[in-house]
Amino acid sequence: MTCTLILIRHAKSAWDAPAPSDHARPLNKRGRRSAKAIGQWLKDMDHLPSQVISSSSQRTRETHQLLKLDAPVVFTERLYHASSDIMFQVLREAEHPRVLMLGHNPGIAAFAHSLASQPPDHSRFDDYPTGATLVLDFEIDQWSDLSWGTTGKVRDFIVPRELLGE
């Protein structure tokens, strides 16, 4: 059996928004366009998750909403600025074979690098910009079988600018 991970960094946030905290910072206009474009790309490429696990921040919630995916979602404080170790623990608890995980840098970039058997040939993979989306396939039966050292085969990697023609 194969388990698939779709790893997305939240879309571009509004640094100038009058948010009471970093956790409450919303998306900006470009971020909203980017999230919609990534959602459409996921549908067009048939990279649809059966479960979404997301940070509880406002920008990840908005990104998720604009992706317009039809899968159950869990928003968790554990993924807010999580390290790759915490992301690994959360993923091992996933119950469905096709998981979309939505989070923040620098943890999400480190997590992507640790899981890809061979990084995609893409100039933006190393910095994992906002909206960056990686799709990995793992030859495991369930996420609890995942261990450090288990790597996935990259199926796709894209950044929103490619979809928006920017």
pLDDT at residue 112 tops 90: yes
Comparison of pLDDT for 17 and 43, the residue scoring more: 43
Mean pLDDT of 33-60: 98
pLDDT at residue 119 tops 90: yes
Sequence spans of domains, the chain: 3-164
Mean pLDDT of 52-58: 98
Mean pLDDT of 127-144: 97
CA distance 56 to 23: 8
Instruction: Say what the pTM is.
Output: 0.96
Distances (CA, A) of 119 to 32, 98, 153: 27, 20, 9
pLDDT at residue 18 tops 80: no
| Confidence (pLDDT) at 166 | 67
Extended strands (E) in the chain = 3-9, 51-55, 73-76, 98-103, 133-138, 153-158
Q: Under CATH, what is the fold of the domain 3-164?
A: Rossmann fold (3.40.50)
Q: Contact at 8 Å (CB) between 98 and 48?
A: yes
Q: Contact at 8 Å (CB) between 6 and 55?
A: no
For residue range 65-103, list pLDDT tens digits in order: 999 999 999 999 999 999 999 999 999 999 999 999 999
